[in-house]
């Protein structure tokens, strides 16, 4: 039986199974530069290459599945953010998106700061030599141990998230004889247009202290009253994978509103504001993200305008992009194991990874694109679902995509834009071994995070 049951994709009048279909590109071999890392191209032989290295060589040398990261693209994005925001602002890369020692070194070299939100991320940052004054510690329930380690190390900023935490950080700083710079995380009451699980500035959720009802103002009073804390500013993060700048503008306006109240009540002008991360990236050709210079201009303009209106000196601005820096720089390389056509529905293409290396599709209904990476194909488009090898039917990597109908076991597939929140949220479900991260640059590939082994799994199992 042929596997070209849906040869031309969705056409007017077609009855297609439930799903969201990006129409198949006129050429399945084409690569949309918005979703691929900068140096990815299809070579004359038809296979993809990145940083001058053929993916077939990567698969042979490092195995699959593997996250493949374009180091030059990562560095270029860091520079674009730095240059867009200029010398009067700071860019903190959000380490939760993906963190490793190599990444910390790249950030350091490219002049970025680093936001960490756990002891593990802090340990990685320090181990790789990030100067502590360029590190900010986040989190809504930092342990005493995490706070102590951060204050001892001399981190440049702790973003406090609750009244209890204000007391805890003050206590640790006093005990260690330090005066710790802190920002207060506020919830500005913005409904960001993104998935419910990753929106963070509406009132009914766990983060921050609300502006409405005066919790944030009370937090300011408490911090200003504590000798061992230095209140440097106000922090707001409204959510993640956001395209619309309107939420950031409301957030900036409300944060400046609080700075004005603080000046009026305490006679103090706080020197910093941080507007968080959350800028969206293109996962498919339908997404249209803003460029760093547009973002910098929109945020800079609104902060300047609001401060001028309030008669405040313009504070130093910082932002915390994670996904927007690392997301587009990597793709996941998989090998096809089985191809199963379900007549009248779609073709299920099973790869050698799945929800253990990319939980985002199952967790957030995220959409991804995919391409045949080991060769070009002129075959008809075939409506496909790329699935993993885990023991549940929600184990989907790419829900709806068109792949060439001659796809066969042994082919390599590449799923772009997996640099953020894939390796960092990877699990050992079904005792899967978490894939390596391979950095490619100028014709050379090297492992920056190695593949897990069965020994790694058994080492933790001490029963
Ligand atoms: N700053 C703070 C305080 C944050 O909580 C976050 C993300 C960021 C910055 C970076 O946001 P980004 O620029 O990467 O959007 N696992 C979810 C995303 C969760 C984001 C959590 N906080 C996902 O895979 O979509």
Cβ 320 under 6 angstroms from ligand 1 = yes
**Domain end: 321, 349, 380, which one?**
321
Give the HSE-up count for residue 46: Cα atoms under 13 Å, Cβ half-sphere: 11
> Is residue 277 helix, strand or coil?
coil
Q: Are residues 268 and 332 in the same domain?
A: no
Cβ 363 under 6 angstroms from ligand 1 = no
Look up tokens 């900023």; give the residue. 157
Task: Confirm whether 344 is domain-assigned.
Answer: yes
Q: Are residues 414 and 279 in the same domain?
A: no
Q: Are residues 343 and 315 in the same domain?
A: no
Number of domains in the chain: 2
Q: Are residues 271 and 374 in the same domain?
A: no
- Of 129 and 204, more confident: 129
Distance in angstroms (rounded) separating the CA atoms of residues 105 and 169: 28
pLDDT band, very low/low/confident/very high, at 203 (cuts 50, 70, 90): confident
Task: Confirm whether 109 is domain-assigned.
Answer: no
Mean pLDDT in residue range 6-29: 62
Query: Whole-structure pTM over 0.85, yes or no?
Result: yes
Query: What residues form DSSP beta bridges with 334?
Result: 413
The answer on pLDDT for 375 being more than 60 is yes
Task: Confirm whether 117 is domain-assigned.
Answer: no
Cβ 323 under 6 angstroms from ligand 1 = yes
- Supply the residue whose CA is at minimum distance from atom 15 of ligand 1: 278
Q: Are residues 221 and 182 in the same domain?
A: yes
Mean pLDDT in residue range 413-432: 98
Q: Are residues 253 and 161 in the same domain?
A: yes
Distance in angstroms (rounded) separating the CA atoms of residues 144 and 159: 14
Task: Confirm whether 58 is domain-assigned.
Answer: yes
The answer on pLDDT for 10 being more than 60 is no
Distance in angstroms (rounded) separating the CA atoms of residues 381 and 451: 33
The answer on pLDDT for 5 being more than 60 is no
Mean pLDDT in residue range 367-396: 97
Which range of 189-193, 341-345, 457-461 scores highest in mean pLDDT? It is 457-461
Task: Confirm whether 26 is domain-assigned.
Answer: no
Q: What is the pLDDT of residues 20-55, one digit of tens each?
A: 666 777 899 999 999 999 999 999 999 999 999 999
Q: Are residues 317 and 344 in the same domain?
A: no
> Is residue 270 helix, strand or coil?
coil
Task: Confirm whether 86 is domain-assigned.
Answer: no
Q: How far is the CA of 235 from the centre of ligand 1 (A)?
A: 14
Q: Measured on CA atoms in the order 409, 414, 418, 424, is the torsion positive or negative?
A: positive
* Predicted pLDDT at 21: 67
> Is residue 413 helix, strand or coil?
strand
Mean pLDDT in residue range 234-259: 94
Task: Confirm whether 120 is domain-assigned.
Answer: no
DSSP letter (8 states) at residue 248 = H
Length of the chain in residues, anyone? Answer: 463
Segments forming the whole domain that contains residue 426: 41-70+328-460
**Domain end: 298, 321, 344, which one?**
321
Distance in angstroms (rounded) separating the CA atoms of residues 432 and 419: 19
* Predicted pLDDT at 3: 41
Mean pLDDT in residue range 277-282: 96
Burial class of residue 15, CB neighbours in 10 A (0-12, 13-18, 19+)? exposed
Q: How far is the CA of 383 from the centre of ligand 1 (A)?
A: 32
Task: Determine the atom of ligand 1 nearest the C-alpha atom of 320.
Answer: 9
Looking at residue 442, which CATH number applies to its domain?
A: 2.40.37.10
Q: Are residues 351 and 262 in the same domain?
A: no
Cβ 360 under 6 angstroms from ligand 1 = yes
Cα separation of the two ends of the chain: 51
Q: Are 77 and 324 in contact (CB under 8 A)?
A: yes
The answer on pLDDT for 194 being more than 70 is no
- Over 188-201, what HEC string results? CCCCCCCCHHHECC
Distance in angstroms (rounded) separating the CA atoms of residues 378 and 70: 27
Task: Determine the atom of ligand 1 nearest the C-alpha atom of 242.
Answer: 15
Distance in angstroms (rounded) separating the CA atoms of residues 407 and 416: 18
- What element of type H or E holds 115? strand 113-116
Mean pLDDT in residue range 109-134: 98
Q: Are residues 264 and 312 in the same domain?
A: yes
The answer on pLDDT for 9 being more than 50 is no
Cβ 138 under 6 angstroms from ligand 1 = yes
pLDDT band, very low/low/confident/very high, at 196 (cuts 50, 70, 90): low
* Predicted pLDDT at 25: 76
Share of the chain above pLDDT 70, in %: 93
**Domain end: 292, 321, 350, which one?**
321
Looking at residue 315, which CATH number applies to its domain?
A: 3.20.20.10
Query: What residues form DSSP beta bridges with 272?
Result: 233, 316
DSSP string, 330-341: EEEEEEEEEEEE
Q: Are 404 and 24 in contact (CB under 8 A)?
A: no
Residue-averaged pLDDT of the chain: 94
Task: Confirm whether 431 is domain-assigned.
Answer: yes
Cβ 354 under 6 angstroms from ligand 1 = no
* Residues known to be catalytic: 391
The answer on pLDDT for 87 being more than 80 is yes
Q: Are residues 406 and 285 in the same domain?
A: no
Q: Are residues 314 and 333 in the same domain?
A: no
- Which of 77, 90, 91, 96 is the best mutation target for the ligand 1 pocket, counting ligand atoms within 8 Å of the beta carbon and taking the most? 96
Task: Determine the atom of ligand 1 nearest the C-alpha atom of 278.
Answer: 15
Q: To the nearest 5 percent, what fractions of the chain are helix, strand and coil?
A: 30, 25, 45
DSSP string, 162-227: SHHHHHHHHHHHHHTT--EEEEEEEE-----SS-GGGB--SSSSSSSEESGGGHHHHHHHHHHT-T
Q: Are residues 391 and 299 in the same domain?
A: no
* Predicted pLDDT at 197: 60
């Amino acid at each position: 039986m042929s596997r070209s049951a849906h040869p031309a994709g969705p056409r007017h009048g077609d009855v297609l199974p439930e799903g969201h279909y990006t129409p198949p590109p006129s050429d399945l071999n084409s690569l949309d530069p918005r979703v691929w890392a900068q140096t990815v191209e299809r070579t004359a032989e038809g296979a993809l290459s990145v940083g001058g290295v053929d993916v077939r060589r990567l698969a042979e040398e490092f195995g699959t599945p593997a996250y493949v990261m374009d180091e030059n693209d990562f560095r270029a994005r860091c520079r674009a953010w730095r240059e867009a925001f200029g010398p009067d602002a700071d860019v903190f890369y959000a380490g939760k998106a993906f963190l490793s020692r190599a990444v910390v070194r790249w950030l350091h070299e490219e002049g970025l700061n680093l936001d960490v939100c756990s002891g593990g991320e802090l340990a990685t940052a320090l181990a790789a030599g990030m100067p502590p004054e360029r590190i900010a510690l986040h989190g809504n329930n930092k342990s005493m141990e995490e706070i102590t380690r951060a204050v001892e190390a001399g981190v440049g900023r702790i973003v406090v998230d609750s009244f209890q935490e204000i007391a805890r950080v003050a206590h640790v700083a006093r005990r260690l004889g330090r005066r710790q710079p802190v920002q207060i995380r506020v919830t500005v009451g913005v409904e960001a247009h993104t998935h419910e699980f990753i929106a963070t500035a509406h009132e009914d959720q766990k983060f921050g202290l609300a502006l409405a009802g005066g919790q944030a103002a009370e937090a300011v009073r408490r911090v200003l009253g504590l000798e061992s804390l230095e209140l440097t500013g106000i922090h707001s993060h409204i959510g993640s994978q956001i395209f619309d700048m309107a939420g950031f503008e409301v957030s900036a306006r409300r944060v400046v509103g609080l700075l004005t109240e603080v000046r009026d009540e305490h006679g103090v002008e706080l020197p910093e504001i941080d507007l968080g991360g959350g800028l969206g990236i293109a996962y498919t050709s339908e997404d249209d993200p803003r460029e760093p210079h547009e973002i910098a201009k929109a945020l800079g303009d609104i902060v300047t305008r609001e401060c001028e209106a309030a008669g405040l000196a313009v504070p130093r601005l910082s932002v915390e992009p994670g996904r927007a820096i690392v997301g587009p720089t990597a793709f996941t390389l998989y090998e096809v194991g089985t191809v199963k056509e379900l007549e009248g529905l779609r073709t299920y293409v099973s790869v050698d990874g799945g929800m253990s290396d990319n939980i985002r599709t199952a967790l957030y209904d995220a959409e991804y694109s995919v391409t045949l990476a080991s060769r070009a194909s002129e075959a008809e488009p075939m409506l496909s679902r790329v699935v993993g090898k885990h023991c549940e039917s929600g184990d989907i990597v790419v829900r709806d995509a068109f792949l060439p109908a001659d796809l066969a076991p042994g082919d390599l597939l590449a799923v772009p834009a997996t640099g953020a929140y894939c390796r960092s949220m990877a699990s050992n479900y079904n005792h899967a071994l978490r894939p390596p991260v391979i950095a490619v640059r100028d014709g050379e590939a090297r492992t920056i995070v190695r593949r897990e082994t069965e020994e790694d799994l058994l080492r933790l199992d001490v029963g």
